[in-house]
Structure 1
Amino acid sequence: MTNNSGVRDLYDRRFYGADEEAGFVEEGASTDTPQTRHPAYKLAFRDDDFLLQPELRPVRFQLELLKTEMLLDQAGVGSTLVMYGSARIPSPDQVEALEEVAKGQSEDEAKVTKRLIEKAKYYQEAYNLARLATEKAIIEDGERQFVVTTGGGPSIMEAGNRGASDAGGESIGLNIVLPHEQAPNTYVTPYLSFQFHYFALRKMHFLLRAKAVAVFPGGFGTFDEFFELLTLIQTGKMKPMPILLFGKDFWNRVIDFEALAEEGTISAKDIDLITWCETADEAWAAISKFYDL
């Protein structure tokens, strides 16, 4: 796979040595007076209290957009294969433990646990698809194509990053700050592991480089990302691309796409934006056909 140690070195120089190279020094380094100790004297870009004011929100938006954009450019990422899905679906090696848990649950709780267990196959298919795409190692104009990108968390996201890692490649994780403690899964490539405060900016980076999106069973977050993607393509804000929807039984149970068309709130042809998949091979075949790979 591509060696990106040079990119990592460039990151270190640009983001950790920039002040010294540009001649900036800590304020008050040579003179300690009431004036230099006052917060008003701080350089604006070093003043967290200033930067975190509500009036500076547009600046923070720009920073969240630019940092990831610049680093992905430097990493030579031309396009991505985005993977959406639940943070709750177990991996196959967690199934046995969950089956034991279900034995001690109420009937209703056990039913939910068993439904999650049934979806463990999608962890495996997410892993398989990520590994398959990474092994292809497609390069165009010197840039890597179909670089696996996930939300950086557990479950389906972990499966995607894990598949890429096991294939000897790199992958992107776009984490989000949440009220409860969370961290990137251990398979995300460290220098491609990003954290966002704003969902809007995170969602932009999911799609700015996307050439295909695989959507696995999920909850509110997955629905949000999936339907926004459909809307952007439906309205012409994005070019068409393969939208690979895994788990037809799940999706048809929770959403009646045909009913939406029958009610007239979408066109029948809008349903054709979706490519149904059950396996990684089916998904990659659809990508290959769409782009004539």
Structure 2
Amino acid sequence: MNRPHRFRPGQILSHVILLFLAFLFMFPFYVMIVTSVRSPAELFVPEFRWLPESFTGLQYYIQAVTDIPALTFLKNGVLISGGILIVQLLTAIPCAYALAKFEFRGRDLLFALVLFSLTVPIQAPALPLFLGLNAIGAIDTYFAAMVPFFLSVFAIFLFRQTFRTYPDEIIQAARLDGMSEWAILWTVVVPGCLPSVAAFSVFSVTAHWNDLYWPMVVIRSNDLMTPPLGLAFFADSESGANYGALMAMATILTAPLMIGFLLAQRHFIRGITMTGVK
């Protein structure tokens, strides 16, 4: 007969702490969603109400979509974040594979430069990048919004650490079978390291979807605005004190990230916890 599982005091305390932290992290999202369906009269009442007394339904959401091109901002976010991610994977994976599995002169120096580049923020080369893009007439384009991030040193570092733990025996067997290095990389090594690819994809898409600094520098037209830049424009120029519509807009622009993370969370957690392959 199975005995019921009893939680120890330490386990109970850890669960209480985790639930409290989860509440702290989720509370802003709850306020955002509830505010997007409150009536205007309830937005500035002195006491906090967990649920609105009267629902506005989809009024604010319709206003957010019709008054401001929210779908355009979403499309731009997908194109820019997705384009950056694809180029980052195409460039970082071969670089990381070479640093992890090839022996050549200067390899350690190159890896040291990769580590050094991790300390350089985007604000440091922003002015030269802007002047260069302006000289070729690329300001206010998708290319200008994406090009500074095409080469990710963080991706090179992450994939290099993952590829180093990949068994050399499998790679040698593939070479004996006549496979080229490109075929080995993309058909053997990368499929075996998908958790790391998924983990980096979450980091990359989240960072560039939420980036406000660089789009604010190079984007001018409303048709190319990313979600954070569009949200800032919506708050300053259109909504004024209409916080309900502003929260509805924030909910629309946040939803794709939340859905994407829920779909990839298992691979994401494996990617940041695994140090090798079985």
Instruction: Pick the TM interval, shorter chain.
Output: under 0.3
RCO comparison, higher one (Cα < 8 Å, 6+): 2
| Greater gyration radius | 2
More helix by share: 2
Task: Please report the TM-score for the alignment, with normalisation by the length of structure 1.
Answer: 0.26
Structure with a larger share of its residues in strand = 1
TM-score by length of 2: 0.27
